[in-house]
Homo-oligomer: A and B are copies of this chain.
Amino acid sequence: VALHFRRAVIHGVGLLGGSLGMALRRRAMAERVVGLGRSRKRLERARQLGAVDDLTTDAAEALEGADALICCLPPRALRKKWAALAPLVPDGAFVTDVGSVKRESVAEAERRFGDRALFIGSHPMAGSEMSGVEAARGDLFEGAACFITPTPRTPGAAISTAARMWSGVGARVAVADPARHDRLMAGLSHLPHLTAVALVETVYAGGDATVLLRAVAGPGFRDATRIAAGDAALWEQIFSENAPALRDSLDGLIDILSEWRDLLGREESAAALVERLERSAERRAQLAPGASGHPT
């Protein structure tokens, strides 16, 4: 049977929340999609764009009679919000989020909801350097990977509802517990982002004429640093929320870069370096191809 919410509340109607609203409405997966947020103007715009049916800035009003709440807030805001939301969520409602860091937020949500709601963390890997509801698209999740992050406390019905919702909007669902998710994301998303930023900082610290730098930066540099153009405030939250795992990944990268540093330019290490370069090229070539754009 197709998933059908009676009243699905989307808290935060930016790129992800707006796109999810559009997708739920387009596929008739909810009777009413209710947008909840701080800015009435932004909510009105979301309604104009077809992302929500109803809107309110009042959480209690939004959640009355709701059977689903999807929180689409930045990671730090998300973690701090569960305490205020939990008492307003009707018993048995499905609750999830789209945050890109899970461990702390999931633990906090489980503390606040106890057994009252069907809570599970989600992380759809979709998005782009764009942000805001203007960039939202009903097909944003199609073909994207989406993590759901159950723990031993997660009710089975939360797992199945989340899997049906995300696959219903076109995502490929992957399962990992919150700690493992955060380690994976540290390596696959947060470390590459931070490294892109550090590459830009390194090149500019070199003090070469900025104009020349801009003119000759080739596609290699542009590809490697594309993700450095993301939303600064969002990424600071992501880095901070995932600091322990990201520090481990950074330690690993720094060790490997230091190893390379010591091997460079020694004739006797040439064959070993070629082998390492070949192995990385093979591994890189095996990555699933996928939509362009930038997941957080």
Q: Which residues of A contact B (CB under 8 A)?
A: 125, 145, 147, 172, 174, 176, 180, 183-184, 187-189, 191-206, 208, 212-230, 232-233, 235-236, 239-240, 243-244, 246-247, 249-254, 256-258, 260-261, 264-265, 267, 270, 273-278, 280-281, 283-295
A234 and B157 CA atoms in complex are apart in Å by 54
10 chain-A/chain-B pairs, Cβ below 8 angstroms: A188-B217, A197-B276, A206-B249, A219-B293, A223-B227, A224-B226, A228-B284, A229-B284, A250-B257, A254-B261
* CB pair B240 A265 closer than 8 Å: yes
Residues of B within 8 A of A216 (CB): 125, 145, 147, 174, 184, 188
Residues of B within 8 A of A281 (CB): 228-230, 232
* CB pair A198 B257 closer than 8 Å: yes
Closest approach, in angstroms, between the C-beta of A77 and any C-beta of chain B?
Answer: 13
Nearest residue, chain B, Cβ from A243? B265
Nearest residue, chain B, Cβ from A180? B208
Neighbour of A236 across the interface among B125, B220, B273, CB < 8 A:
B273
Nearest residue, chain B, Cβ from A76? B270
Copy total for this chain = 2
Closest approach, in angstroms, between the C-beta of A177 and any C-beta of chain B?
Answer: 12
A201 and B197 CA atoms in complex are apart in Å by 19
* CB pair A250 B260 closer than 8 Å: yes
Nearest residue, chain B, Cβ from A290? B219
A205 and B9 CA atoms in complex are apart in Å by 41
